[in-house]
Structure 1
């Protein structure tokens, strides 16, 4: 099942919302289409992220993990570190300058996984890339 389409850099991915994170999904859906830029993570490993500063989605922890798998997208709702969205393209141990974090797994890519590493490396070596989340 495809709920949304994500355009990131030169790639397009189909994705689904995770039923185990209903509050996060509802808050994010209300913000769509969501347009930003991704940059490479600093501490977490093989991932790209959208730093959101003090943005408050109004959600707490649900379906949270420190170790998202490639193709999983998590939202850190903020508190001890800034609010952010992270897309794992390889091994991730989610952390920040203040230490270990956990984010709400609320989206999973359903197509285009073969392009994730290319997107991640391009973001690492070439800098920020545009990203757009839109409902299908």
Structure 2
């Protein structure tokens, strides 16, 4: 047995092919997703995307101030603040509802399909 000690060990011949040189692999089936947790995760992700609209709200506000017109200042301030406040909140709310619905639909579909098969590998 003249193996290089710096190379990972090779799998034994009697082990199934799911055992590799980088770790043990296992296949698991996803049977259920908690809808509230899925909704919460989706809400956080979508609220973060909603924060991308904050610079556009600031531009609307500065555009209204730059116009010098009293109506433009009020409109720019109002629309800018509305975008900065309501975009993340609305995106978060819609994200929660879509995550909740997607998890519910998955949980119903898994009864007929058996669930997703996911492959994991343990790292050493």
TM-score, normalised relative to structure 1:
0.21
The structure whose residues are more often helix, as a share, is 2
The structure whose residues are more often strand, as a share, is 1
